[in-house]
Amino acid sequence: MHIRDAEIADLETITEIYNDAVANTTAIWNERLVDVDDRAAWLADRLRAGYPVLVASDDDGVLGYATFGDWRPHDGYRHTIEHSVYVRGDQRGRGIGSALMTELISQARTIGKHVMVAAVESDNAGSIALHERLGFVETGRMPQVGMKFGRWLDLTFLQLILDDRPTPA
Ligand SMILES: CC(C)(COP(=O)(O)OP(=O)(O)OC[C@H]1O[C@@H](n2cnc3c(N)ncnc32)[C@H](O)[C@@H]1OP(=O)(O)O)[C@@H](O)C(=O)NCCC(=O)NCCS
């Protein structure tokens, strides 16, 4: 298994992984399934912004992906990003999420980002454990800010400070 930049040919599996999360999990709070064109536009947006979209792959194809984008659109947040990481259902628990996140964190540091935010559904114990293992610390919980599958969802924020710059200059 290795981590590399996503390519157009990866979009079919990325779309499947995304749609599986939409249809079956509270990891993502969307309800609309997407097609490959939607993910192609998303990939192009990320690359245009200078942000990575990484995949973990082996001879079997894409096993998972991870990316980040701006956390909030206002100027003052430009050193802060929010990421997402998804591993194919049959490949979880093999270190793939950790490998994707380790490379994503490294690339965030390389382009000078200062804080990485994870917004995780509060019952997603696997994701919270993954992030804590990587050094993220919980900074807040927002009860009932979301809904899916007929119930309210709580949101847990975790963050990783990426460098020790005393000022943003
Ligand atoms: C969360 C997710 C990305 C983790 O990826 P993964 O490849 O399964 O994770 P790893 O095998 O790298 O596990 C790394 C660590 O995370 C923790 N962890 C991962 N899954 C866990 C689970 N189900 N329960 C408890 N801890 C878990 C463990 O500490 C693990 O380390 P260990 O195996 O040495 O104990 C993956 O389960 C996934 O894609 N889930 C669905 C989508 C999702 O929730 N994405 C995150 C949205 S915020």
pLDDT of residue 169: 81
The minimum-distance atom of ligand 1 relative to the CA of 131 is 16
Does the C-beta of 93 come closer than 6 Å to ligand 1? yes
Cβ-count burial of 113 within 10 angstroms (0-12 exposed, 13-18 middle, 19+ buried)? Answer: buried
pLDDT of residue 54: 98
Cβ-count burial of 52 within 10 angstroms (0-12 exposed, 13-18 middle, 19+ buried)? Answer: buried
pLDDT of residue 8: 97
Low-confidence ranges of the chain (pLDDT < 70): none
pLDDT of residue 40: 98
Does the C-beta of 125 come closer than 6 Å to ligand 1? yes
Q: Percentage of the chain with pLDDT > 90?
A: 99
- Rounded distance between C-alpha atoms, residue 132 and residue 27, angstroms: 17
pLDDT of residue 123: 98
For domain 2-161, give the CATH superfamily: Gcn5-related N-acetyltransferase (GNAT) (3.40.630.30)
User: Under a CB-based contact definition with an 8 Å cutoff, are residues 22 and 31 in contact?
Assistant: yes
Torsion region of 45: left, alpha or beta (phi above 0 gives left; psi -120 to 50 gives alpha): alpha
Does the C-beta of 26 come closer than 6 Å to ligand 1? no
pLDDT digits over 113-138, tens only? 999 999 999 999 999 999 999 999 99
Q: What are the residue ranges spanned by the domains of the chain?
A: 2-161
